[in-house]
């Protein structure tokens, strides 16, 4: 079958356009997009695997989440395009390729949330990125016997994925972001977990 020049040009243009479309524009059913623009202020997290009395504390970070229209020409519509972040996942991995859950990295976690973000708005929301039980299981539990003061540090990365739904029930695009976590048995004098605020 012989194609004329116009057909070839059209096919190439369609393929080029498809390859340049970002994931958020292709995923989800809603007219708004979910963005995660900052995790922990852009800083790595130092995670203590045990406090001075042997207890363990969760690690909570702040996420900046935004709600924007896919089509910038749409004007305000009220509550219909507000969405609620309702579910999250955290997956851990290492840059050296050793990523077996429960051996090299903590197990992937999932959980539920209820954080509203109004249309064309943003919020800073807390997220428990390392749970207590992760510090009671390998590989983090194995670090507790390391000398206090951070003699052994293991760097991992956490990939956080959020899922949201608008007030009219439409599913938004999922969004993911990554952060660095440095795990160690840091020297401290804490006897209880710090109270985390919003």
What's the pLDDT tens digit per position in 95-113?
999 999 999 999 999 999 9
What's the pLDDT tens digit per position in 20-77?
655 545 566 789 999 999 999 999 999 999 988 889 999 999 999 999 999 888 877 8
**Alpha-carbon gap, residue 169 to 146, rounded angstroms:** 49
**Alpha-carbon gap, residue 183 to 55, rounded angstroms:** 15
Helix (H) or strand (E) holding 19: helix 5-20
**Alpha-carbon gap, residue 5 to 145, rounded angstroms:** 70
Domains of the chain, residue spans: 23-184
For the domain made up of 23-184, the CATH class stated in words is: mainly beta
- Going through 72-167 in order, the beta strands assigned E by DSSP cover 83-93, 109-117, 122-130, 153-166
Residue matched to tokens 């429960």: 102
At residue 19, does pLDDT exceed 90?
no
**Alpha-carbon gap, residue 150 to 48, rounded angstroms:** 9
What's the pLDDT tens digit per position in 111-157?
999 999 999 999 999 999 999 999 999 999 999 875 554 458 999 99
Instruction: Note whether 143 and 113 are within 8 A (CB).
Output: no
């Amino acid at each position: 079958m012989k194609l004329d020049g116009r057909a070839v040009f059209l096919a190439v243009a369609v393929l080029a356009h498809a390859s340049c479309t970002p994931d958020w524009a292709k995923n989800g059913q809603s007219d708004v997009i979910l963005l995660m623009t900052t995790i922990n202020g852009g800083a790595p997290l130092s995670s203590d695997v045990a406090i001075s009395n042997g207890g363990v504390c969760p690690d909570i970070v702040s996420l900046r989440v935004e709600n924007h229209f896919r089509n910038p020409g749409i004007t305000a519509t009220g509550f219909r395009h507000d969405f609620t972040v309702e579910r999250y996942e955290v997956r851990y991995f290492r840059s050296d390729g050793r990523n077996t859950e429960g051996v090299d990295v903590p197990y992937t976690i999932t959980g539920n949330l209820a954080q509203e973000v109004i249309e064309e708005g943003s919020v800073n929301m807390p997220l428990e990125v390392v749970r207590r039980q992760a510090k009671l299981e390998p590989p983090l539990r194995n670090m507790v016997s390391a000398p206090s003061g951070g003699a052994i540090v293991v760097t991992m990365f956490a990939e956080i994925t959020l899922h949201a739904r608008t007030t009219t029930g439409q599913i938004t695009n999922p969004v993911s972001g990554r952060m660095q976590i440095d795990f160690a048995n840091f020297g401290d004098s804490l006897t209880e977990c710090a109270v985390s605020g919003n």
